[in-house]
Chains A and B, each alone.
Chain A
Amino acid sequence: MSAPACETPRIVFYRVSVEFDTAHGPLRVVEDVSFSVRDREFVAIIGPSGCGKTTMMNIVAGFVQPTGGSVTLDGRPVGGPGPERGVIFQEYGVFPWLTVEQNIAFGLNLAANRLPAAEKAQIVQRYMGLMGLGDFAKAYPKHLSGGMRQRLAIARAYAVKPQFLLMDEPFGALDAQTRSNMQDLLLEVLAAEGKTVMLITHSVEEAIYLSSKIIVVTARPSRIREVIDVPFAYPRDEGLHERAEFGELRSHIRDLVMKEYAAQQRQTARNLE
């Protein structure tokens, strides 16, 4: 995950703006955002809720077109969604009509990722094991806990071997313990098969613990407030939370985020008047 700085960036945002048409006229959610993500870098984007972070991820995923500027993937403008970009949605989106193993196999059965049956079964087994879902192969999602659904969503995204992983508040709905386990599991899996990651989060601690670079964005419209390189080497473990540098970084970022959060609150209050 620690790539040399000279490498060509894989995701490039260049002066990106996004405006949505709403009933009250155009709403600018992203303004003049430029940054880049190198190969195997883990970038966290943090900022107040409703500021446009998810929109930034949706551009890379191929669901939203920027209204200004450009976003390129390996030098080419982003087209529609594709299997080389795995997306973990906030609401998981596990398919309720498929069992755990069918969910993981979903992507492998599509024409875009066709594989020999034996290899397919092997991949399904591998991710089911890795995510601790082996005992639930034939279970429908309605029988799974929130944490298990989340692991299922990750397993399904991983199975098609995406080079990019885009995650929108993936652990937001989980309890503290499950959340911490899921973070460690994610780091483990990433260490085993490097990917370029973009993570949208609210949690300062999560951003520091997981990522190699943190982008703090402002209240709506999102602009870049500060880009912070996280100085800790991988592999990381829970002990990191106790380090003095972790605490300093946390209070610095928390300060920035709180200011933006307050600005967003004022904005919302104004809009309600």
Chain B
Amino acid sequence: MRRTALILAPWVLMVMIWYAVALSGLVNASLMPTPHQVAARFWELANGGRLPRDIWMSTQRVFLGVALGIALAVPVGFLLGWYQGLRSFVDPVINFFRALPPIALIPLVVVYFGIGEPAKVIILFYASFFAGVIVMYEGIAQISPIFVRVARTLGASDLEIFRKVIVPLTVPHILTALRVALGVAWATLVASELIAAQQGLGALIQNAGSFFQLDIIYVGIICIGFIALSMDLALRAASRRLVAWQDRIGS
């Protein structure tokens, strides 16, 4: 009960501040829709409007981009983390690409991949891969060699060490990489949907912007925030179950 109140408090506070700003007259009323106007618009778009389709398209792109990005980041990050020698010269390359904002690549992606669905997924893939690969290899590099040594003294073969020691130690880093990649992918989504997208939350915001429909912009932004938040919460809940043994998460 108390906990629920504490969780809700900052949200209630934000809505109150929003009302205060919108109703104070400090900002021109046409530039600042009130929360109930946005809620009404959300209801309208959600029931029979374009919102369900937009949410579906965006979520699908994020899932696909993150799935592909992490599918590559896990083995690459693992190899870089495990073989320190490899890392010393691959590391600068990875940091070079990681530092490039995905938006800067959009013109090139359009040239090479056109403006279809693949172009958007590629941007999200790019963002997820570089966010994920760093988390993976830094996590793997920190794994203490003591566990492998112990397993060897107990008679473990190389394959057993991989299956019974390295894999369990890798799982928490995969989950962290997923969380980071999801965050980055949602942040990059709007940029990727700038590429002539007709559907998706980014497109919704983009179109609303051209028609000065501020309430729709707010609906889009809030939807992105809540979807990203619920995915993060779901992943954290999964982490708690999968890696209950860890100090950080757990209890």
Q: Do A and B bind each other?
A: yes
Which residues of A come within 8 Å of B, CB atoms? 61-63, 80-83, 85-87, 89, 91, 93, 95-98, 106-107, 109-113, 140-142, 156-157, 160
Q: How far is the CB of B248 from chain A (nearest CB, A)?
A: 10
Bin the interface of chain B by size: 20 to 34
Question: B149, B168, B169 — which one has the most chain A CB atoms within 10 A of its CB?
Answer: B149
Q: Which residues of B contact A89 (CB under 8 A)?
A: 146, 149-150
Flag if A97 contacts B155 (CB, 8 Å).
no
Contact of A157 among B147, B152, B153, B160 (CB under 8 A): B153
Flag if B247 contacts A95 (CB, 8 Å).
no
Flag if B246 contacts A160 (CB, 8 Å).
no
Flag if A97 contacts B153 (CB, 8 Å).
no
Contact of B155 among A91, A93, A95, A113 (CB under 8 A): A113
The reply to whether the CB of B250 lies closer than 8 angstroms to some CB of chain A is yes
Flag if B250 contacts A110 (CB, 8 Å).
no
Flag if A110 contacts B246 (CB, 8 Å).
no
A-B contact pairs, 27 of them (CB 8 A): A80-B152, A81-B149, A81-B153, A86-B153, A89-B146, A93-B146, A95-B147, A95-B168, A97-B169, A98-B245, A106-B154, A106-B164, A107-B154, A107-B155, A110-B154, A110-B156, A110-B157, A110-B160, A110-B164, A111-B157, A112-B155, A112-B156, A113-B154, A141-B245, A142-B245, A157-B153, A160-B155
CA distance A173 to B171 in the complex (A): 29
Flag if A87 contacts B156 (CB, 8 Å).
no
CA distance A91 to B157 in the complex (A): 22
Q: How far is the CB of A113 from chain B (nearest CB, A)?
A: 6
The 8 A-B residue pairs with the shortest CB-CB distance in the complex, in nearest-first order: A112-B155, A83-B155, A107-B154, A93-B146, A93-B150, A81-B152, A87-B153, A97-B168
Q: How far is the CB of B176 from chain A (nearest CB, A)?
A: 15
Interface of A is mostly: loop
CA distance A60 to B156 in the complex (A): 17
Question: B144, B147, B164, B245 — which one has the most chain A CB atoms within 10 A of its CB?
Answer: B245
Flag if A91 contacts B146 (CB, 8 Å).
yes
Flag if A96 contacts B246 (CB, 8 Å).
yes
The reply to whether the CB of B243 lies closer than 8 angstroms to some CB of chain A is yes
Flag if A83 contacts B154 (CB, 8 Å).
yes
Q: Residue-by-residue, is B163-192 near A (CB-CB < 8 Å gives 1, otherwise 0)?
A: 011001100000000000000000000000
Q: Which residues of A contact B144 (CB under 8 A)?
A: 91, 93
Flag if A110 contacts B155 (CB, 8 Å).
yes
Q: How far is the CB of A97 from chain B (nearest CB, A)?
A: 4
Q: Which residues of A contact B39 (CB under 8 A)?
A: none
Q: Which residues of A contact B155 (CB under 8 A)?
A: 82-83, 107, 110-113, 160
A109's nearest neighbour on chain B, judged by CB, is B164
Q: Which residues of A contact B153 (CB under 8 A)?
A: 61-62, 81-83, 85-87, 157
The reply to whether the CB of B244 lies closer than 8 angstroms to some CB of chain A is yes
Q: How far is the CB of B223 from chain A (nearest CB, A)?
A: 37
Q: A82-B155, A83-B153, A89-B146 are in contact. Are A111 and B160 (CB under 8 A)?
A: yes
The reply to whether the CB of B67 lies closer than 8 angstroms to some CB of chain A is no
Q: Which residues of A contact B150 (CB under 8 A)?
A: 87, 89, 93, 95, 156
CA distance A25 to B243 in the complex (A): 43
Q: How far is the CB of A54 from chain B (nearest CB, A)?
A: 12
A142's nearest neighbour on chain B, judged by CB, is B247
Q: A89-B146, A89-B149, A110-B160 are in contact. Are A96 and B154 (CB under 8 A)?
A: no
Flag if A156 contacts B154 (CB, 8 Å).
yes
Q: Which residues of B contact A109 (CB under 8 A)?
A: 164
Flag if B154 contacts A95 (CB, 8 Å).
no
CA distance A110 to B250 in the complex (A): 28
Flag if B243 contacts A97 (CB, 8 Å).
yes
Q: Which residues of A contact B149 (CB under 8 A)?
A: 63, 81, 87, 89, 93
Q: Residue-by-residue, is B216-247 near A (CB-CB < 8 Å gives 1, otherwise 0)?
A: 00000000000000000000000000011111
Flag if A140 contacts B245 (CB, 8 Å).
yes
